[in-house]
Amino acid sequence: MNRTDRLYALVEELRAVAPRPRSARWLAGRFEVSVRTVERDISALQQSGTPIYAEAGRTGGYCLDKARTLPPVNLTPGEAVAMALALRQLEGTPFRATAHTALRKLVAAMQQDDAAAARDLAARVHLFGEDAPPSMPRELADALVARRVLRIGYGDREGAVTQREIEPLGYVGKPEHWYLVAWCRLREEIRVFRTDRITSVSVTAEVPPPRSLRREDLDIPYGVVEQLSLTG
């Protein structure tokens, strides 16, 4: 079990028995780690805002304040990423830090598979600047979550339209435009499509093969690109 999974499991173990305590020794045996590792993990959870406290005495141990935590919630990966994007509007306000703390708590309360999928989806969203880009058509906004090949019409700077089949890989957002990063079957390489130049879009039933997206694949010659984060 890796550390991220163990931290999640520690919280759920303490939630299951709350308000009764679990000793560090019991937890160490349960997760097959040392007592020192459990103590470090509990300290990390406490520093992140998880309401865990220690009860002294022979029958004491660590307790979770169940009233102040969330059980696993049914946020979808797309919803979690949407919240991360929305919270960027709080940059520069007094609530920036608390907003990111709230997001971390929600992600920690998600089902493990959904949280992992949300982190993967967020890693495919890259942004310029602080301002939110404009909206985009629903079929494009759902492209990464749906994981389907798209057929699009795409206009170049002169207005000439070509028909393409593309495999969506990620997004780049600028204050003026959204860009869809995709494998273009016409050009047989990764291309960046400005979404306001996409004249038509249809979703096929075909699931594309898995492809990685590296920062150098974004083909952006200037500016600082920031990857969206679910941890602040």
In a domain, 179, yes or no: yes
pLDDT of residue 190: 92
Q: Are residues 41 and 86 in the same domain?
A: no
Report whether 77 contacts 230 (CB < 8 A).
Answer: no
- The CATH code of the domain that includes 57 is 1.10.10.10
Q: Are residues 101 and 169 in the same domain?
A: no
Which of the listed residues 122, 141, 156 is the one where a domain comes to its end? 122
Q: Are residues 103 and 132 in the same domain?
A: no
In a domain, 232, yes or no: no
3-state secondary structure the chain: CCHHHHHHHHHHHHHHHCCCCECHHHHHHHHCCCHHHHHHHHHHHHHCCCCEEEECCCCCEEEECHHHCCCCECCCHHHHHHHHHHHHHHCCCCCHHHHHHHHHHHHHHECHHHHHHHHHHHCCEEECCCCCCCCCCHHHHCHHHHCCCEEEEEECCCCCEEEEEEEEEEEEECCCCEEEEEEECCCCEEEEEEHHHEEEEEECCCCCCCCCCCHHHHCCCCCCCEECCCCC
Nearest-CA neighbor of 168 among 178, 158, 159, 177? Answer: 178
pLDDT of residue 221: 55
How far is 218 from 160, CA to CA, in rounded Å? Answer: 23
pTM over 0.75: no
Q: How many CB atoms lie within 10 A of CB 166?
A: 25
In a domain, 106, yes or no: yes
Q: How many CB atoms lie within 10 A of CB 110?
A: 23
Which of the listed residues 68, 88, 109 is the one where a domain comes to its end? 68
Report whether 10 contacts 31 (CB < 8 A).
Answer: yes
Q: Are residues 172 and 197 in the same domain?
A: yes
Q: Are residues 81 and 61 in the same domain?
A: no
Q: Are residues 109 and 47 in the same domain?
A: no
**Segments forming the whole domain that contains residue 87:** 77-122
**For the chain, what is the mean pLDDT?**
85
Please give the residue that has the higher pLDDT: either 229 or 35: 35
Q: How many CB atoms lie within 10 A of CB 53?
A: 11
Q: Are residues 134 and 217 in the same domain?
A: yes
At residue 37, does pLDDT exceed 90? Answer: yes
Q: Are residues 134 and 221 in the same domain?
A: yes
Q: Are residues 59 and 83 in the same domain?
A: no
In a domain, 134, yes or no: yes
- Predicted confidence (pLDDT) per residue in 167-203, tens digit: 999 998 887 888 899 999 999 999 999 999 999 999 9
The number of domains in the chain is: 3
- Predicted confidence (pLDDT) per residue in 77-89, tens digit: 888 888 888 888 7
Q: Are residues 101 and 178 in the same domain?
A: no
Q: Are residues 23 and 104 in the same domain?
A: no
Q: Are residues 117 and 44 in the same domain?
A: no
